[in-house]
């Protein structure tokens, strides 16, 4: 389900006391909610009498890590717009720059709206358009693409992983983007889905159309 408000909840974890191996680390964080903003909180670990030893075996490589990253979404871009250009660049640099930042190299993005979309949308809202003649990423040119391009200013080889939250609603049995009623949507109880049971219309023309939906997404973003 989508959040229709632009409320952004931010939690920042800050680990302190890590320089002293004999002292347990305290964890401090700042948490914001719609009711209370920027509340500083703390958790203190209890000292254990017996030390636990962890042996790190670094000689054998078991897997390859392609990179680290986070998710691009509409509300993330909207949040960036609340600060001036200089601060925006400072934030982007701290995340994507390979020297002075976190060196994020991979980013996930939703194919259409997600929980963090400004509102619900898909790349083709026209019911019955199995040929995808009305497919468009025009909306993403307002937020998602500028967001990704801004990150690429610090990470030119950034790779993007597209992930759908939901197909166009006309491809679902309940004809709705959501799977269960909630305060942020107008789905009726009759339209609620069942856990583990797809609400996608499992018919050949719908499956073919959704495959074409994916294809056009790749082509348009290319």
CA 217/CA 111 separation, integer angstroms: 8
* pLDDT 10s digits, 122-178: 999 999 999 999 999 999 999 999 999 999 999 999 999 999 999 999 999 998 888
Whole-angstrom Cα distance, residue 94 to residue 172?
A: 40
Q: Where are the beta strands (DSSP E) in the chain?
A: 11-16, 26-31, 39-44, 69-71, 106-110, 159-163
Cβ(149)–Cβ(141) below 8 Å: no
Q: Which two tokens stand for residue 207?
A: 């499956």
- DSSP character at residue 30: E
Task: For residue 158, give the 3-state DSSP assignment.
Answer: coil
Mean residue pLDDT of the chain comes to 85
94 Cβ contact list (under 8 Å, min separation 6)? 100, 101, 102
The conformation of residue 82, written as its DSSP 8-state character, comes to T
Cα separation, 116 vs 94, in Å, equals: 22
Q: Is the pLDDT of residue 218 over 70?
A: yes
pLDDT at 7: 39
**pLDDT at residue 10 greater than cutoff 50:** no
- Tens digits of residue pLDDT in 17-41: 333 445 555 678 888 888 888 888 8
The answer to whether residue 73 scores a pLDDT higher than 90 is yes
């Amino acid at each position: 389900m989508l959040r229709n408000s632009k409320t952004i909840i931010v939690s920042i974890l800050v680990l302190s006391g890590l320089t002293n191996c004999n002292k347990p680390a305290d964890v401090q964080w700042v948490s914001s909610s719609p009711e209370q903003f920027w509340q500083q909180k703390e958790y203190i670990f209890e000292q254990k009498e017996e030390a636990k030893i962890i042996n790190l075996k670094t000689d054998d490589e078991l897997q390859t890590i392609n990179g680290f990253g986070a998710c691009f979404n509409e509300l993330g871009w909207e949040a960036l717009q609340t600060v001036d250009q200089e601060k925006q660049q400072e934030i982007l640099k701290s995340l994507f720059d390979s020297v002075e930042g976190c060196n994020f190299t991979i980013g996930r993005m939703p194919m259409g709206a997600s929980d963090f979309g400004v509102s619900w949308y898909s790349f083709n809202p026209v019911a019955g358009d199995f040929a995808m003649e009305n497919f468009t990423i025009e909306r993403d040119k307002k937020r998602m693409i500028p967001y990704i391009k801004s990150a690429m200013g610090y990470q030119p080889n950034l790779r993007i992983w597209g992930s759908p939250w939901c197909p166009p609603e006309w491809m679902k049995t309940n004809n709705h983007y959501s799977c269960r009623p909630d305060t942020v949507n107008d789905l009726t109880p009759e339209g609620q889905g069942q856990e583990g049971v797809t609400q996608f219309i499992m018919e050949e023309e719908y499956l073919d159309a959704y495959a074409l939906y994916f294809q056009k997404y790749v082509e348009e973003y290319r």
